[in-house]
């Protein structure tokens, strides 16, 4: 089995690459989905986050208001680290469990751990290869604004708060440049997929 750690900055197209790999037969583990699970009421992380940041971040339904929580930590490195020290180990634990299940059920599988914070959280050791999806800054801003919900200034602030493309690429085994059109992106994915499939015959996903 081969495990790929897939990451990239805001609007780079990481999720698009993950979907394309899934179409080709990869088993994709979405770390953002796991992140939602660890915030669920009754989980260890839920209790620890509420204890750390106060009951005011909890909505009427008992769930953590992630927008309110994000506002509490954005631009505050110490508070952000306080949160990630609670949440990231729990996400990693769930990811490891899913990888183990896939390994047991699908010999020769290609697993993709789709995680925006793969490098920041130090999860590279879960992967045989690290893939980084990049676009230039202007393209990232334009695409993020076009999706709606964020101003250009807000996108710029998020980019500044993330690892740079240069820092990500320095730790990558594979760099996918998504600055072009869909055909250019697909060609890159196909080339790397053929290499992975040759190394580990891909089994059909159940």
What CATH fold (topology level) applies to the domain 2-199?
Rossmann fold (3.40.50)
Query: HSE of 133 in the Cβ direction (CA atoms, 13 Å)?
Result: 32
Judging by DSSP bridges, how do beta strands 27-30 and 2-8 pair with one another?
unpaired
Using alpha carbons, select from 109, 93, 136 the residue that is nearest to residue 27: 109
Using alpha carbons, select from 49, 97, 41, 93 the residue that is nearest to residue 72: 49
Q: Give the pLDDT of residue 149.
A: 82
pLDDT tens-place string over residues 163-206: 999 999 999 999 999 999 999 999 999 999 999 988 766 554 43
Using alpha carbons, select from 33, 31, 74, 78 the residue that is nearest to residue 52: 78
Mean pLDDT of the chain: 93
Q: How far is CA 65 from CA 73, 144, 157, 195, in A?
A: 13, 23, 21, 43
């Amino acid at each position: 089995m081969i495990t790929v750690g897939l990451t990239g900055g805001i609007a780079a197209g990481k999720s698009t690459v993950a979907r394309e790999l899934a179409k080709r037969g990869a088993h994709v583990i979405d770390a953002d989905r796991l992140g939602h699970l660890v915030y669920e009421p009754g989980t260890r992380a839920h209790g620890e986050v509420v204890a750390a940041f106060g009951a005011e971040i909890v909505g009427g339904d008992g769930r953590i208001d992630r927008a309110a929580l994000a506002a509490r930590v954005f631009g505050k490195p110490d508070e952000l680290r306080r949160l990630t020290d609670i949440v990231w180990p729990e996400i990693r634990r769930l990811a490891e469990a899913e990888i183990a299940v896939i390994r047991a059920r699908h010999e020769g599988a290609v697993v993709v751990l789709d995680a925006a914070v793969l490098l920041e959280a130090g999860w590279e050791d879960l992967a045989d290869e690290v893939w980084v999806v990049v676009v230039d800054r202007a393209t990232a801003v334009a695409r993020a604004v076009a999706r709606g919900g964020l101003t250009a200034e807000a996108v710029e602030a998020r980019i500044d708060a993330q690892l740079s493309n240069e820092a990500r690429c320095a730790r990558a085994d594979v760099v996918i440049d998504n600055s072009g059109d869909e055909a250019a992106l697909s060609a890159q994915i196909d080339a790397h997929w053929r290499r992975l499939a040759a190394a580990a015959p891909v089994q059909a996903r159940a």
